[in-house]
Chain A
Amino acid sequence: MVMLIVAFVSFSLFNFVGDPINNMVGEETSDEERAELRETLGLMDPIYVQFSRFVVNASKGEFGISYQLRRPVSELITERLPATIELVLISALIALVSGTLLGVYTGINRKGFLSDIILAISLLGVSLPTFVIGILFIYLFAVILGVLPSFGRGEVVDIGFWSTGFLTISGLKAIILPSVTLSLFQMTYIIRLVRAEMMEILQTDYIKFARARGISEKSIHYKHALKNGLIPVITIAGINIGTLIAFSIITETVFQWPGMGFLFIQAVQFVDIPIMSAYLVFIAFVFVMINFIVDILYYFIDPRIRVKAEAVSG
């Protein structure tokens, strides 16, 4: 359903924002030639025919030819996809792991000095725009210290259609700055969320019982409390993947990371509609997939849902 709406939006983008014919031909093309081109492209067909054709093509991954780069959009997307996916995955991992750890710490040690510092920094993190962090990192690590690369992916290795930066030293080095930059904003959210969850759960009765039974604090915190606190974290982390993909637009611009976000931002500046609509459909697809996966994960983590589902089906 969502996919259909998005497909329709991007289809309208394609068709109504600017005349596609004008974008394809030069000034000298005569009116007859234009009409002919219109006919061959099927632009004379009724809208619903055009739309269904668009959906069929889109599901095959065909979005036409980029106005700016003059290459098939599907080719461009598959070329850039691995870069973005790798960046986003690493960032999500960093955000999730360090966010959870710091969140648990601040949740348990509510009044500690270190907790206050972490929280203050996390608020600062929300106020620091991603691009400012990126610039700061480049200045510090690439220019002053000269230890990490500031742009690109380094050496990549092609494994089939997938080009990965994980298998070379320069590739691994290159991903550090962009992924940390990208993860910071999400990390602050996760810290706050985990902290709030931990604080709430530690007040609940079953934790009090556990304490009364003499179970060690450590076991209470990590075995009982954290496990329950993780459910909302997984939801957020899931949604975050989508947000990370969106925010990778900025990170990719700052670090010249050859991913889809970088492609998209250039497309916006050039009003390169085929790329924009393809990107839109792609993002929508990712969101739908993420929601689906998060639902499944829920099922495994929260026994209540599982029991309910089994009760219904049984």
Chain B
Amino acid sequence: MKPKNLLKILLAFLFVFASSQSFAKTIKWSMQGDSLTLDPHAQNEGPTTQVSRQIYEALVTRGLDMSIGPQLATKWKAVDPNTWYFYLREDVKFSNGQKMTSEDVVFSILRAKQPTSDFKEYISTISGVKAIDDYTVQIKTSKPNPILLNQLSNIFIMSKQWSNENFAVVPQNWDAGQETFSATNAMGTGPFKITLREPNTKTVFKKNGKWWGDVEHNITEIQLLPIKNAATRVAALLSGEIDIVTDAPVQDLARITASAGHKVESTPQMRTIFLGMDQAADKLRSGNTGDNPFKKKEVRQALYQAIDIEAIKKKVMRGLSEPAGIITFPGVTGYTKALDKRLPYDVDAAKKLLADAGYPNGFDVELRCPNDRYVNDEAICTAVVGMLGKIGVNVNLFAQTKSKHFKELKDDQGDFYMLGWGVPTLDSHYVFHYLYESGASWNKVNFSDADVDAAIRVMEGEVDLDKRNAAIAKAWKIVRDNIAYLPLHHQVISWASKTNVNVPIRPNNEPLFRFSSVN
């Protein structure tokens, strides 16, 4: 070997040791799936938002205690029920050094209303937005909106100039498989910036030195390393290659806790898992009866009562789930314990219902499931297949990765499917608006009820809280009695980490690394 080469290698070694010797605090973070896209308006999905939240910020945001507080806006006021003023921080810079002004906020909110945005319905009541001066933004709503702040907490602010320069003026068209600069690059005002993005393999976040906030964390770098296989993920955590797993497999929690140097934290998650059944199609795509049994409420109820949710809780979820009667959870406006009560598990009653509905021998149907989205999603589906088999419903399970699952659901390819719903706004309106309203984007069961639609209008425009709560209660009663969906359970999430890594657990499963520390 030539001396010159040797020198080079030695230098490389030196460099590596020097850099690893410095006081770099790195958190290696893993979960089963990756963010679907870095474009903050292209996909409204849990892990995608979890990643974006570290880089991008919104006008207002939820803190560790989940209450809404200021972020890019310091204060706000509504001058009339339809006109809001937001006063921005004046010391905010993007990670490339540009100053953030009201231009960027106006641009971002309008961007999130573009047809390719996945947030367009989210903020559908926003009818106008304009800059009053450099640091004041006026937002107009089409009707009084009691949950505007909740909604704005998930609309991330991008740089107008950066978007212009990188052809990212409109959100990436995710459904059409478009590839854009903003899908693989991110530039925000948040406490971290992305320096490397290899989808499904590795994403590196570095501390953003230009961040405006008080630095409460001591982290210089975060690496997101998605590991799909649960066993490998746990092995990586136990062997020390990963510092924190934000979806620790329930079956391994005891083992992780027992390991010295690791800890597990659990909290009820703001997410309900349920099954949807298409009630509008004339004929099931995967059926064998030539009609659509799900049109009959008896059939939906039979399936409901055939599911032994306690067995799923005990065996599949290892006790870490809360059986659900409605698709929302404690803490959300409109939730009550009474509504959350399930119909009893009763196989004989289910069989009778099925026979009464004209399907004494059951029928065939395909159940679509994600296999890398929710806690033990595929295992739950497998269990459901077995339970429905006992009442003669022959279910063929089709489990696939979340991006395909969601896309095909959106393309109306599902007869019977699993979905989970979180409520970032902590208001029942969010659930109705997406899952129950006639023609809503995630209403893939094609449920439609005039009274529910009317109640949703009340939720959107009624500022009298008593009247509004009455409308919510009424809507819940209708959809529950109709068995529009088959609720399964509220998820309990568990984060497992090394004992020296402190990332506060949050019920929406979103880590906030700006409050984290490595000791």
Q: Does chain B have a CB within 8 A of A115?
A: no
Q: How far is it, in angstroms, between the C-alpha of A212 and the C-alpha of B115 when the chains are bound?
A: 90
Give CA–CA (A167, B16) in the complex, Å.
7
Minimum CB–CB distance for B332 against chain A, Å: 33
Out of B16, B227, B403, which one reaches A155, CB within 8 Å? B16
Question: A226 at the A/B interface (Cβ < 8 Å)?
Answer: no
Q: Among residues 21 to 72 in chain A, which have CB atoms less than 8 Å away from a CB atom of chain B? A: 23-29, 65, 67-71
Stretch at the interface among B53-61, B175-183, B491-499: B175-183
Interface size, chain B (Cβ < 8 Å): 33
- Cβ of A260 within 8 Å of any chain B Cβ, yes or no, is no
With beta carbons under 8 angstroms apart, the residue of A25, A28, A146 that contacts B239 is A146
- The answer to whether A151 and B235 touch across the interface, beta carbons within 8 angstroms, is yes
In the assembled complex, the CB of B372 is this many whole angstroms from the nearest CB of chain A, namely 12
Nearest neighbor of B411 in chain A, beta-carbon distance: A27
Contact A143 B235 (CB under 8 A): yes
Contacts of B15 in A (CB 8 A): 157
The CA-CA distance from A270 to B407 in the complex, in Å, is 13
Contact with B along A102-128 (1 / 0, CB 8 A): 000000000000000000000000000
Given A27-B411, A71-B184, A149-B239, are A256 and B229 also a contact pair (CB < 8 Å)? Answer: yes
| Set of chain A residues within 8 Å of B411, measured between Cβ atoms | 27
Chain A residues with CB under 8 A of B238:
142-143, 146
Per-residue CB contact flags for chain B residues 98-114 toward chain A (1 = under 8 Å, else 0) read: 00000000000000000
The contact of A69 among B13, B200, B232, B241, by CB within 8 Å, is B200
Q: Does B198 sit at the interface, judged by CB under 8 A?
A: yes
A258 within 8 A of B: yes
Interface size class of A (residues with CB under 8 A): 35 or more
- For B12, the chain A residues whose CB sits under 8 A away are 157, 159, 167
Which residue of the partner chain A has the closest CB to B28?
A: A152
Report how far A138 CA is from B179 CA in the complex, Å. Answer: 37
B483 at interface (Cβ–Cβ under 8 A)? no
Contacting pair A150 B236 (CB below 8 A): yes
Instruction: Please indicate the chain A residues that have their CB under 8 angstroms from the CB of B239 in the complex.
Output: 142-143, 146, 148-150
> What's the nearest-Cβ distance from chain B to residue A171, in Å?
9
Residue numbers in A under 8 Å from B403 (CB-CB):
68
Bound CA span A157–B15, Å: 10
Interface assignment of A86: CB less than 8 Å from any CB of chain B: no
Nearest CB on B from A79, distance (A) = 6
Residues on B with C-beta less than 8 A from A256 are 227, 229, 232, 236
* Distance to closest chain A CB from B495 (angstroms): 19
- Encoded as 1 (CB less than 8 Å from any B CB) or 0, chain A from 184 to 215 comes to 00000000000000000000000000000000
A94 to chain B, nearest CB (A): 22
Check A98 for interface membership: any CB of B closer than 8 A: no
- A253, closest chain B residue (CB): B229
What residues of A have a CB within 8 angstroms of the CB of B176 in the complex?
25-26, 28-29
Interface residues, chain B, with chain A CB atoms under 8 Å away: 9, 12-13, 15-16, 20, 173, 175-179, 183-184, 198-202, 225, 227, 229, 232, 235-236, 238-241, 401, 403-404, 411
Q: Which 9 A-B pairs have the closest CB atoms?
A: A26-B176, A70-B179, A150-B235, A142-B239, A151-B236, A149-B241, A258-B201, A142-B235, A26-B175
Given contacts A67-B177, A151-B241, 10 further A-B contacts (CB under 8 A): A26-B176, A65-B179, A70-B179, A70-B199, A138-B232, A152-B236, A152-B241, A154-B241, A168-B16, A269-B401
